[in-house]
Amino acid sequence: MPDSRHPDVLVVGGGIIGLAVAWRARLRGCSVTLLERDRVGQGTSRVAAGMLSPVAEVEFGAAGRRVLALGLRSAAMWAGFAAELQRASGVVLAPARTGALLLARDEDEARELERQLAFRRSLGLRVERLRPSEAREREPALAPTVRLALEMPDEASIDPRPVLDALRLACEHAGVRIREGAPVARVELDGDGDGARVRGVALAEGELLEAGEVVLAAGAWSGQIDGLPPAARIPVRPVKGQIMRLRDPAGPGLLRRVVRFAGGYLLPRGDGRYVLGATMEERGFELAPTAGAIHQLLRDARELVPGVSELEIEEIAVGLRPGTPDNAPALGRASSAGLIWATGHHRNGILLAPLTAELLAGILDPAAALPDAGELLAACEPSRLTAEPPALAEPFASNAGARS
Ligand SMILES: Cc1cc2nc3c(=O)[nH]c(=O)nc-3n(C[C@H](O)[C@H](O)[C@H](O)COP(=O)(O)OP(=O)(O)OC[C@H]3O[C@@H](n4cnc5c(N)ncnc54)[C@H](O)[C@@H]3O)c2cc1C
Protein backbone atom coordinates (compact mmCIF):
# COMPACT_ATOMS: atom_id res chain seq x y z
CA MET A 1 0.00 0.00 0.00
CA PRO A 2 1.18 3.54 -0.70
CA ASP A 3 2.56 5.47 2.26
CA SER A 4 0.11 8.38 2.42
CA ARG A 5 2.16 10.29 5.03
CA HIS A 6 5.18 10.56 2.74
CA PRO A 7 4.18 9.57 -0.79
CA ASP A 8 6.61 9.36 -3.66
CA VAL A 9 4.55 11.94 -5.55
CA LEU A 10 2.26 14.80 -4.57
CA VAL A 11 0.09 16.03 -7.43
CA VAL A 12 -1.33 19.53 -6.96
CA GLY A 13 -4.62 19.99 -8.85
CA GLY A 14 -7.47 17.60 -9.61
CA GLY A 15 -8.37 18.57 -13.17
CA ILE A 16 -7.98 16.23 -16.12
CA ILE A 17 -4.22 16.76 -16.10
CA GLY A 18 -3.61 16.14 -12.38
CA LEU A 19 -5.98 13.15 -12.30
CA ALA A 20 -4.50 11.56 -15.43
CA VAL A 21 -0.94 12.06 -14.18
CA ALA A 22 -1.81 10.69 -10.73
CA TRP A 23 -3.45 7.59 -12.23
CA ARG A 24 -0.58 6.83 -14.62
CA ALA A 25 2.06 7.45 -11.94
CA ARG A 26 0.26 5.10 -9.55
CA LEU A 27 0.05 2.41 -12.23
CA ARG A 28 3.84 2.70 -12.57
CA GLY A 29 4.20 1.85 -8.91
CA CYS A 30 4.56 5.31 -7.34
CA SER A 31 2.63 6.08 -4.17
CA VAL A 32 0.61 9.16 -5.05
CA THR A 33 -1.42 11.75 -3.14
CA LEU A 34 -3.48 14.23 -5.14
CA LEU A 35 -4.32 17.57 -3.50
CA GLU A 36 -7.34 19.51 -4.73
CA ARG A 37 -8.44 22.74 -3.13
CA ASP A 38 -12.15 22.20 -3.96
CA ARG A 39 -13.54 19.00 -5.42
CA VAL A 40 -11.75 17.14 -8.16
CA GLY A 41 -12.98 17.57 -11.71
CA GLN A 42 -14.83 20.83 -11.10
CA GLY A 43 -12.31 23.23 -12.69
CA THR A 44 -11.75 24.17 -16.33
CA SER A 45 -11.74 20.55 -17.48
CA ARG A 46 -15.41 20.24 -16.60
CA VAL A 47 -16.26 23.27 -18.71
CA ALA A 48 -14.33 22.19 -21.82
CA ALA A 49 -16.18 21.11 -24.95
CA GLY A 50 -13.96 18.06 -25.40
CA MET A 51 -12.83 18.48 -28.99
CA LEU A 52 -9.86 16.27 -29.82
CA SER A 53 -8.92 18.55 -32.59
CA PRO A 54 -5.22 18.96 -33.42
CA VAL A 55 -5.77 19.71 -37.11
CA ALA A 56 -8.45 22.39 -36.77
CA GLU A 57 -6.58 23.98 -33.85
CA VAL A 58 -3.15 24.21 -35.47
CA GLU A 59 -1.64 27.69 -35.35
CA PHE A 60 0.98 29.35 -37.50
CA GLY A 61 4.51 29.57 -36.14
CA ALA A 62 6.99 27.28 -34.46
CA ALA A 63 5.10 26.99 -31.17
CA GLY A 64 1.95 26.10 -33.11
CA ARG A 65 3.79 23.28 -34.89
CA ARG A 66 5.09 21.98 -31.59
CA VAL A 67 1.56 21.86 -30.19
CA LEU A 68 0.40 20.14 -33.39
CA ALA A 69 2.99 17.38 -32.99
CA LEU A 70 1.88 16.83 -29.39
CA GLY A 71 -1.78 16.98 -30.36
CA LEU A 72 -1.49 14.43 -33.17
CA ARG A 73 0.39 12.06 -30.88
CA SER A 74 -2.14 12.44 -28.08
CA ALA A 75 -5.14 12.17 -30.42
CA ALA A 76 -3.78 8.81 -31.56
CA MET A 77 -3.61 7.69 -27.91
CA TRP A 78 -7.18 8.67 -26.98
CA ALA A 79 -9.02 5.52 -28.09
CA GLY A 80 -6.67 3.24 -26.11
CA PHE A 81 -6.63 5.60 -23.13
CA ALA A 82 -10.44 5.73 -23.04
CA ALA A 83 -10.75 1.95 -23.32
CA GLU A 84 -8.29 1.39 -20.46
CA LEU A 85 -9.95 4.05 -18.34
CA GLN A 86 -13.36 2.50 -18.97
CA ARG A 87 -12.06 -0.91 -17.86
CA ALA A 88 -10.47 0.61 -14.75
CA SER A 89 -13.49 2.66 -13.73
CA GLY A 90 -16.59 1.02 -15.16
CA VAL A 91 -17.62 4.40 -16.63
CA VAL A 92 -18.65 4.19 -20.28
CA LEU A 93 -16.51 6.49 -22.41
CA ALA A 94 -17.24 7.14 -26.05
CA PRO A 95 -14.73 9.14 -28.05
CA ALA A 96 -16.45 9.98 -31.35
CA ARG A 97 -14.53 10.46 -34.56
CA THR A 98 -17.08 12.63 -36.33
CA GLY A 99 -14.75 14.91 -38.29
CA ALA A 100 -15.04 18.69 -38.36
CA LEU A 101 -16.00 21.33 -40.87
CA LEU A 102 -14.33 24.72 -40.83
CA LEU A 103 -16.72 27.23 -42.42
CA ALA A 104 -16.47 30.59 -44.14
CA ARG A 105 -19.53 32.78 -44.58
CA ASP A 106 -18.17 35.64 -46.73
CA GLU A 107 -15.38 36.42 -49.19
CA ASP A 108 -12.91 37.52 -46.53
CA GLU A 109 -13.43 34.41 -44.48
CA ALA A 110 -13.22 32.27 -47.64
CA ARG A 111 -9.83 33.83 -48.49
CA GLU A 112 -8.66 33.09 -44.97
CA LEU A 113 -9.86 29.50 -45.28
CA GLU A 114 -7.81 29.09 -48.48
CA ARG A 115 -4.78 30.24 -46.50
CA GLN A 116 -5.61 27.79 -43.73
CA LEU A 117 -6.02 25.01 -46.30
CA ALA A 118 -2.61 25.71 -47.86
CA PHE A 119 -1.04 25.85 -44.40
CA ARG A 120 -2.48 22.50 -43.34
CA ARG A 121 -1.55 20.86 -46.63
CA SER A 122 2.01 22.15 -46.24
CA LEU A 123 2.08 20.24 -42.94
CA GLY A 124 0.80 17.07 -44.61
CA LEU A 125 -2.52 17.14 -42.71
CA ARG A 126 -5.67 15.51 -44.04
CA VAL A 127 -8.06 18.26 -45.09
CA GLU A 128 -10.50 18.53 -47.97
CA ARG A 129 -11.84 21.67 -49.62
CA LEU A 130 -15.63 21.56 -50.05
CA ARG A 131 -17.87 23.74 -52.18
CA PRO A 132 -20.95 25.06 -50.33
CA SER A 133 -23.18 22.45 -51.98
CA GLU A 134 -20.82 19.65 -50.93
CA ALA A 135 -20.73 20.97 -47.37
CA ARG A 136 -24.54 21.08 -47.27
CA GLU A 137 -24.78 17.56 -48.66
CA ARG A 138 -22.73 16.38 -45.71
CA GLU A 139 -24.50 18.62 -43.19
CA PRO A 140 -27.99 19.59 -44.46
CA ALA A 141 -28.53 21.88 -41.45
CA LEU A 142 -25.98 24.37 -42.80
CA ALA A 143 -27.34 27.69 -44.05
CA PRO A 144 -26.99 28.81 -47.68
CA THR A 145 -24.71 31.57 -46.36
CA VAL A 146 -21.80 29.08 -46.27
CA ARG A 147 -19.24 30.23 -48.88
CA LEU A 148 -16.57 27.60 -48.42
CA ALA A 149 -15.78 24.71 -46.09
CA LEU A 150 -12.78 22.64 -45.14
CA GLU A 151 -13.40 19.12 -43.96
CA MET A 152 -11.03 17.54 -41.43
CA PRO A 153 -12.19 13.93 -41.32
CA ASP A 154 -9.94 12.73 -38.47
CA GLU A 155 -11.11 15.18 -35.80
CA ALA A 156 -12.86 13.66 -32.80
CA SER A 157 -14.43 14.61 -29.49
CA ILE A 158 -15.24 13.21 -26.07
CA ASP A 159 -17.43 14.49 -23.26
CA PRO A 160 -14.91 15.46 -20.57
CA ARG A 161 -17.35 15.01 -17.67
CA PRO A 162 -17.56 11.20 -17.72
CA VAL A 163 -13.81 11.18 -18.33
CA LEU A 164 -13.30 13.14 -15.09
CA ASP A 165 -15.63 10.78 -13.21
CA ALA A 166 -13.76 7.82 -14.64
CA LEU A 167 -10.35 9.23 -13.75
CA ARG A 168 -11.41 9.82 -10.19
CA LEU A 169 -12.67 6.24 -9.85
CA ALA A 170 -9.61 4.80 -11.60
CA CYS A 171 -7.35 6.77 -9.26
CA GLU A 172 -9.25 5.53 -6.21
CA HIS A 173 -9.25 1.92 -7.39
CA ALA A 174 -5.53 2.09 -8.11
CA GLY A 175 -4.74 3.49 -4.66
CA VAL A 176 -4.17 7.18 -5.33
CA ARG A 177 -5.02 9.10 -2.17
CA ILE A 178 -7.29 12.00 -3.14
CA ARG A 179 -7.55 14.87 -0.67
CA GLU A 180 -10.24 17.40 -1.49
CA GLY A 181 -10.60 20.74 0.27
CA ALA A 182 -6.79 20.84 0.41
CA PRO A 183 -5.58 24.14 -1.08
CA VAL A 184 -1.81 24.21 -1.56
CA ALA A 185 -0.40 27.57 -0.51
CA ARG A 186 3.29 27.06 -1.16
CA VAL A 187 6.00 24.70 -2.23
CA GLU A 188 8.49 23.95 0.54
CA LEU A 189 12.16 23.76 -0.38
CA ASP A 190 15.28 22.50 1.34
CA GLY A 191 18.22 24.81 0.63
CA ASP A 192 18.14 27.82 -1.64
CA GLY A 193 19.21 28.98 -5.06
CA ASP A 194 20.22 26.41 -7.65
CA GLY A 195 20.83 23.73 -5.03
CA ALA A 196 17.29 23.94 -3.62
CA ARG A 197 15.29 20.73 -3.52
CA VAL A 198 11.56 20.42 -3.04
CA ARG A 199 10.62 18.91 0.29
CA GLY A 200 6.87 19.02 -0.20
CA VAL A 201 4.03 21.52 0.01
CA ALA A 202 2.26 23.50 2.71
CA LEU A 203 -1.51 23.66 2.71
CA ALA A 204 -3.25 26.99 3.31
CA GLU A 205 -3.96 26.16 6.94
CA GLY A 206 -0.30 25.29 7.51
CA GLU A 207 -0.10 21.50 7.28
CA LEU A 208 3.17 20.38 5.71
CA LEU A 209 3.13 17.38 3.38
CA GLU A 210 6.43 15.89 2.29
CA ALA A 211 7.14 13.93 -0.89
CA GLY A 212 9.95 12.92 -3.18
CA GLU A 213 8.39 14.72 -6.14
CA VAL A 214 5.77 17.45 -6.49
CA VAL A 215 3.81 17.77 -9.73
CA LEU A 216 2.18 21.17 -10.25
CA ALA A 217 -0.99 20.63 -12.28
CA ALA A 218 -3.15 23.43 -10.93
CA GLY A 219 -4.35 24.63 -14.33
CA ALA A 220 -4.78 28.39 -14.70
CA TRP A 221 -3.82 28.78 -11.01
CA SER A 222 -0.46 27.04 -11.40
CA GLY A 223 1.44 30.33 -11.30
CA GLN A 224 -0.23 31.37 -8.02
CA ILE A 225 1.52 28.89 -5.76
CA ASP A 226 4.18 30.54 -3.58
CA GLY A 227 7.57 29.41 -2.49
CA LEU A 228 9.29 28.83 -5.82
CA PRO A 229 12.59 30.54 -6.56
CA PRO A 230 12.33 32.89 -9.58
CA ALA A 231 14.29 30.49 -11.80
CA ALA A 232 11.73 27.75 -11.18
CA ARG A 233 8.58 29.82 -11.70
CA ILE A 234 6.70 29.92 -14.95
CA PRO A 235 4.09 32.48 -15.88
CA VAL A 236 0.63 30.96 -16.37
CA ARG A 237 -2.28 33.25 -17.22
CA PRO A 238 -6.02 32.53 -17.22
CA VAL A 239 -7.76 32.79 -20.60
CA LYS A 240 -11.48 33.07 -20.05
CA GLY A 241 -13.83 30.99 -22.16
CA GLN A 242 -17.63 31.22 -22.14
CA ILE A 243 -19.53 28.23 -23.46
CA MET A 244 -23.08 26.88 -23.62
CA ARG A 245 -24.60 23.44 -23.41
CA LEU A 246 -27.73 22.99 -25.53
CA ARG A 247 -30.20 20.21 -26.16
CA ASP A 248 -32.42 19.43 -29.11
CA PRO A 249 -35.88 18.40 -27.83
CA ALA A 250 -36.36 16.64 -31.20
CA GLY A 251 -33.40 14.35 -30.48
CA PRO A 252 -30.13 13.90 -32.40
CA GLY A 253 -29.62 14.65 -36.07
CA LEU A 254 -29.17 18.38 -36.53
CA LEU A 255 -25.43 17.96 -37.06
CA ARG A 256 -23.06 15.00 -37.20
CA ARG A 257 -19.74 16.84 -37.51
CA VAL A 258 -18.28 19.56 -35.36
CA VAL A 259 -18.90 22.85 -37.15
CA ARG A 260 -16.29 25.56 -36.61
CA PHE A 261 -16.39 29.17 -37.70
CA ALA A 262 -14.64 32.43 -36.91
CA GLY A 263 -15.58 33.05 -33.30
CA GLY A 264 -17.14 29.75 -32.36
CA TYR A 265 -17.98 26.11 -32.84
CA LEU A 266 -20.98 23.85 -32.45
CA LEU A 267 -20.19 20.34 -31.31
CA PRO A 268 -22.81 17.55 -31.49
CA ARG A 269 -22.58 14.88 -28.78
CA GLY A 270 -24.56 12.44 -30.91
CA ASP A 271 -27.49 12.17 -28.47
CA GLY A 272 -29.23 15.47 -29.14
CA ARG A 273 -26.93 17.50 -26.91
CA TYR A 274 -24.69 20.22 -28.34
CA VAL A 275 -21.89 22.42 -27.05
CA LEU A 276 -21.62 25.95 -28.40
CA GLY A 277 -18.35 27.69 -27.60
CA ALA A 278 -16.27 29.55 -26.89
CA THR A 279 -14.93 33.02 -26.23
CA MET A 280 -11.23 33.79 -25.74
CA GLU A 281 -10.88 36.64 -23.26
CA GLU A 282 -7.93 38.00 -21.31
CA ARG A 283 -9.76 39.12 -18.16
CA GLY A 284 -7.73 37.69 -15.33
CA PHE A 285 -9.57 35.36 -12.99
CA GLU A 286 -13.02 36.81 -13.71
CA LEU A 287 -15.61 34.04 -14.01
CA ALA A 288 -18.87 35.86 -14.73
CA PRO A 289 -20.74 34.97 -17.93
CA THR A 290 -21.76 38.03 -19.95
CA ALA A 291 -24.83 38.70 -22.05
CA GLY A 292 -22.78 40.14 -24.92
CA ALA A 293 -20.57 37.07 -25.29
CA ILE A 294 -23.48 34.65 -25.18
CA HIS A 295 -25.42 36.75 -27.67
CA GLN A 296 -22.49 36.76 -30.06
CA LEU A 297 -21.95 33.01 -29.86
CA LEU A 298 -25.62 32.36 -30.58
CA ARG A 299 -25.81 34.94 -33.36
CA ASP A 300 -22.75 33.54 -35.18
CA ALA A 301 -23.89 29.94 -34.79
CA ARG A 302 -27.40 30.74 -35.99
CA GLU A 303 -26.08 32.43 -39.09
CA LEU A 304 -24.47 29.14 -40.16
CA VAL A 305 -26.82 26.61 -38.53
CA PRO A 306 -30.26 28.27 -38.29
CA GLY A 307 -31.68 25.25 -36.42
CA VAL A 308 -29.65 26.28 -33.39
CA SER A 309 -32.53 28.61 -32.49
CA GLU A 310 -34.70 25.61 -31.65
CA LEU A 311 -32.26 24.17 -29.14
CA GLU A 312 -32.93 24.43 -25.43
CA ILE A 313 -30.30 25.98 -23.21
CA GLU A 314 -29.12 23.59 -20.50
CA GLU A 315 -26.14 25.49 -19.16
CA ILE A 316 -23.96 28.55 -19.57
CA ALA A 317 -20.48 28.02 -18.14
CA VAL A 318 -17.17 29.80 -17.88
CA GLY A 319 -13.71 28.28 -17.66
CA LEU A 320 -10.17 29.56 -17.39
CA ARG A 321 -7.67 28.03 -19.80
CA PRO A 322 -4.12 27.81 -18.47
CA GLY A 323 -2.02 29.82 -20.94
CA THR A 324 1.76 30.21 -21.08
CA PRO A 325 3.42 33.10 -22.98
CA ASP A 326 3.76 30.99 -26.15
CA ASN A 327 0.53 29.06 -25.48
CA ALA A 328 2.33 25.71 -25.54
CA PRO A 329 2.29 23.52 -22.42
CA ALA A 330 5.00 23.37 -19.79
CA LEU A 331 5.81 19.73 -19.05
CA GLY A 332 8.94 18.62 -17.31
CA ARG A 333 11.30 19.24 -14.45
CA ALA A 334 11.74 22.72 -13.02
CA SER A 335 15.17 24.00 -12.03
CA SER A 336 14.43 23.05 -8.39
CA ALA A 337 14.99 19.32 -7.95
CA GLY A 338 11.84 17.37 -7.18
CA LEU A 339 9.48 19.84 -8.86
CA ILE A 340 7.70 18.96 -12.10
CA TRP A 341 5.37 21.16 -14.16
CA ALA A 342 2.29 19.76 -15.88
CA THR A 343 0.38 22.82 -16.95
CA GLY A 344 -0.23 25.41 -19.66
CA HIS A 345 -2.47 23.22 -21.81
CA HIS A 346 -4.47 26.25 -22.86
CA ARG A 347 -7.07 25.25 -25.48
CA ASN A 348 -5.95 21.61 -25.68
CA GLY A 349 -5.91 20.10 -22.20
CA ILE A 350 -8.50 17.43 -22.97
CA LEU A 351 -6.74 16.49 -26.19
CA LEU A 352 -3.32 16.41 -24.52
CA ALA A 353 -4.26 14.56 -21.32
CA PRO A 354 -3.27 11.00 -22.38
CA LEU A 355 0.09 12.10 -23.72
CA THR A 356 0.77 14.39 -20.75
CA ALA A 357 0.08 11.56 -18.33
CA GLU A 358 2.38 9.20 -20.25
CA LEU A 359 5.18 11.77 -20.45
CA LEU A 360 4.92 12.62 -16.76
CA ALA A 361 4.90 8.94 -15.78
CA GLY A 362 8.04 8.56 -17.88
CA ILE A 363 9.74 11.41 -16.00
CA LEU A 364 8.86 9.77 -12.69
CA ASP A 365 9.94 6.33 -13.92
CA PRO A 366 12.38 6.74 -16.83
CA ALA A 367 12.43 2.98 -17.45
CA ALA A 368 8.82 3.31 -18.62
CA ALA A 369 9.24 6.42 -20.77
CA LEU A 370 7.83 6.56 -24.29
CA PRO A 371 10.55 5.93 -26.91
CA ASP A 372 10.18 9.47 -28.27
CA ALA A 373 9.67 11.12 -24.86
CA GLY A 374 12.85 13.19 -25.15
CA GLU A 375 11.74 14.81 -28.38
CA LEU A 376 8.19 15.40 -27.18
CA LEU A 377 9.31 16.89 -23.87
CA ALA A 378 11.80 19.16 -25.61
CA ALA A 379 8.77 20.86 -27.20
CA CYS A 380 7.35 21.63 -23.74
CA GLU A 381 10.52 22.39 -21.78
CA PRO A 382 9.49 24.66 -18.85
CA SER A 383 12.86 26.42 -18.81
CA ARG A 384 11.98 28.18 -22.09
CA LEU A 385 9.50 30.19 -20.02
CA THR A 386 11.71 30.95 -17.04
CA ALA A 387 14.84 32.26 -18.81
CA GLU A 388 14.15 35.76 -20.16
CA PRO A 389 10.70 37.27 -20.11
CA PRO A 390 9.41 36.10 -23.48
CA ALA A 391 8.33 39.56 -24.65
CA LEU A 392 9.29 38.53 -28.17
CA ALA A 393 7.74 35.10 -27.93
CA GLU A 394 6.30 34.16 -31.22
CA PRO A 395 2.73 35.41 -31.29
CA PHE A 396 0.06 32.98 -32.28
CA ALA A 397 -1.30 34.22 -35.57
CA SER A 398 -5.05 34.36 -35.65
CA ASN A 399 -6.75 31.30 -36.97
CA ALA A 400 -9.95 31.23 -38.97
CA GLY A 401 -11.10 28.39 -36.76
CA ALA A 402 -12.88 28.75 -33.50
CA ARG A 403 -11.34 28.48 -30.09
CA SER A 404 -11.69 25.50 -27.82
C1 LIG B 1 -14.61 27.18 -22.80
C2 LIG B 1 -13.50 26.18 -22.90
C3 LIG B 1 -13.54 25.18 -23.86
C4 LIG B 1 -12.50 24.27 -23.98
N5 LIG B 1 -12.60 23.29 -24.92
C6 LIG B 1 -11.58 22.40 -25.05
C7 LIG B 1 -11.68 21.36 -26.02
O8 LIG B 1 -12.66 21.26 -26.74
N9 LIG B 1 -10.63 20.50 -26.14
C10 LIG B 1 -9.52 20.58 -25.34
O11 LIG B 1 -8.60 19.78 -25.49
N12 LIG B 1 -9.41 21.56 -24.39
C13 LIG B 1 -10.41 22.47 -24.25
N14 LIG B 1 -10.32 23.46 -23.32
C15 LIG B 1 -9.08 23.57 -22.54
C16 LIG B 1 -9.08 22.61 -21.37
O17 LIG B 1 -10.30 22.73 -20.66
C18 LIG B 1 -7.91 22.91 -20.44
O19 LIG B 1 -6.70 22.95 -21.14
C20 LIG B 1 -7.82 21.82 -19.36
O21 LIG B 1 -9.06 21.64 -18.73
C22 LIG B 1 -6.76 22.12 -18.33
O23 LIG B 1 -6.80 21.10 -17.38
P24 LIG B 1 -6.11 21.25 -15.98
O25 LIG B 1 -6.25 19.95 -15.27
O26 LIG B 1 -4.73 21.79 -16.19
O27 LIG B 1 -6.93 22.42 -15.26
P28 LIG B 1 -8.28 22.37 -14.39
O29 LIG B 1 -9.28 21.46 -14.94
O30 LIG B 1 -8.68 23.79 -14.16
O31 LIG B 1 -7.78 21.75 -13.02
C32 LIG B 1 -6.93 22.44 -12.14
C33 LIG B 1 -7.35 22.08 -10.73
O34 LIG B 1 -6.39 22.60 -9.82
C35 LIG B 1 -7.08 23.03 -8.67
N36 LIG B 1 -6.22 23.99 -7.97
C37 LIG B 1 -5.90 25.23 -8.35
N38 LIG B 1 -5.09 25.80 -7.45
C39 LIG B 1 -4.90 24.88 -6.47
C40 LIG B 1 -4.14 24.88 -5.27
N41 LIG B 1 -3.43 25.93 -4.89
N42 LIG B 1 -4.18 23.77 -4.47
C43 LIG B 1 -4.90 22.68 -4.84
N44 LIG B 1 -5.63 22.63 -5.99
C45 LIG B 1 -5.62 23.72 -6.79
C46 LIG B 1 -8.36 23.64 -9.22
O47 LIG B 1 -9.35 23.72 -8.23
C48 LIG B 1 -8.69 22.68 -10.35
O49 LIG B 1 -9.54 21.63 -9.90
C50 LIG B 1 -11.36 24.36 -23.15
C51 LIG B 1 -11.32 25.34 -22.17
C52 LIG B 1 -12.38 26.25 -22.04
C53 LIG B 1 -12.33 27.29 -20.97
Question: Quick check: CB of 258 below 6 Å from ligand 1?
Answer: no
Question: Quick check: CB of 349 below 6 Å from ligand 1?
Answer: yes
Burial-class residue 107 by CB neighbours within 10 Å (0-12, 13-18, 19+).
Answer: exposed
**pLDDT, position 387:** 56
Question: Quick check: CB of 289 below 6 Å from ligand 1?
Answer: no
**pLDDT, position 389:** 47
Q: What is the model's pTM?
A: 0.95
Question: Quick check: CB of 223 below 6 Å from ligand 1?
Answer: no
Burial-class residue 270 by CB neighbours within 10 Å (0-12, 13-18, 19+).
Answer: middle
Closest Cα to atom 19 of ligand 1: 349
Question: Quick check: CB of 277 below 6 Å from ligand 1?
Answer: yes
Closest Cα to atom 48 of ligand 1: 43
Question: Quick check: CB of 54 below 6 Å from ligand 1?
Answer: no
Q: Give, for ligand 1, the residue of 179, 350, 352 to mutate: max count of ligand atoms closer than 8 Å to Cβ.
A: 350
Cα of 147 from ligand 1 centre, angstroms: 35
Question: Quick check: CB of 51 below 6 Å from ligand 1?
Answer: yes
**pLDDT, position 187:** 96
**pLDDT, position 230:** 86
User: Residue 154 carries which DSSP code?
Assistant: T
**pLDDT, position 331:** 98
Residues of the chain with pLDDT under 70: 1-5, 194, 387-404
**pLDDT, position 368:** 87
Question: What is each CA distance from 377 to 18, 189, 359, 362, in whole angstroms?
Answer: 17, 25, 7, 10
Bond before 278 cis per omega within 30 degrees: yes
